[in-house]
Amino acid sequence: MKVILTQDVRGQGKKGQLIDAAEGYARNFLLPRKLAVLATADAINTMNLKEKARRAEEAANRQAAVEMGGKLKNVTVKLTAKGGKEGKLFGAITSKEISEALANQFQLDVPKQKIVLDEPIKAYGTYEVKAKLGYEVSAKFSVSVSEE
């Protein structure tokens, strides 16, 4: 019996996959628990439309990540902080502050979770920072920390 899985089922397949299940297994387990629907022409057509929409959305998201990476490449974020002797800061510059500065200075919305700091910025100077934008797209940009 051909069915379309509505959820991942261990040993059978992933969500949206068309499988050939045993008659009893499909009628007594998959269908009553709403883990699958019968593979009618209408259901197969709906599955194909959803898959097409998902691929289009993924392509749009990937394109947006590539565009964001291009915009970030030539950016230098300027931050000010209070510090003590020898150029050390009171506290540290975090990815949250960098994300907010990108939004304020360049109108670029990069979530703080996507900004990768090897270690917190604890001194004045210019630093290379990496942003992992998803879909294997990453961009490096500069962060300049000066005295307040």
- Read off the pLDDT of residues 16-28 as tens digits, 9 standing for 90 and up: 999 999 999 999 9
What rounded mean pLDDT belongs to the chain? Answer: 93
Residue spans per domain, the chain: 2-62, 67-147
Over 90: is that where the pLDDT of 86 sits? no
Torsion of CA 27, 28, 33, 39, to 10 degrees: -10
* Other C-beta atoms lying within 10 Å of the C-beta of residue 75: 18
Torsion of CA 63, 114, 116, 125, to 10 degrees: 90
More confident call, 43 vs 84:
43
Over 90: is that where the pLDDT of 119 sits? no
Kindly state the percentage of the chain with pLDDT values over 70: 100
CA angle 31, 36, 41 (to 5 degrees): 110
Tell me what the mean pLDDT of segment 105-132 comes to. Answer: 93
**Residue 64, CB half-sphere, CA atoms under 13 Å: how many?**
10
- Whole-structure pTM value: 0.73
- Residue range 67-147, CATH number: 3.10.430.100
Q: Given pLDDT bands bounded at 50, 70 and 90, which one contains residue 34?
A: very high
DSSP 8-state symbol, 148:
-
Q: Identify the CA nearest to 123 among candidates 81, 73, 95.
A: 81
Thinking of the domain 2-62, which architecture would CATH place it in? 3-Layer(aba) Sandwich (3.40)
Q: Please name the residues in contact with 7: beta carbons below 8 A apart, sequence gap of 6 or more.
A: 15, 35
Over 90: is that where the pLDDT of 74 sits? no
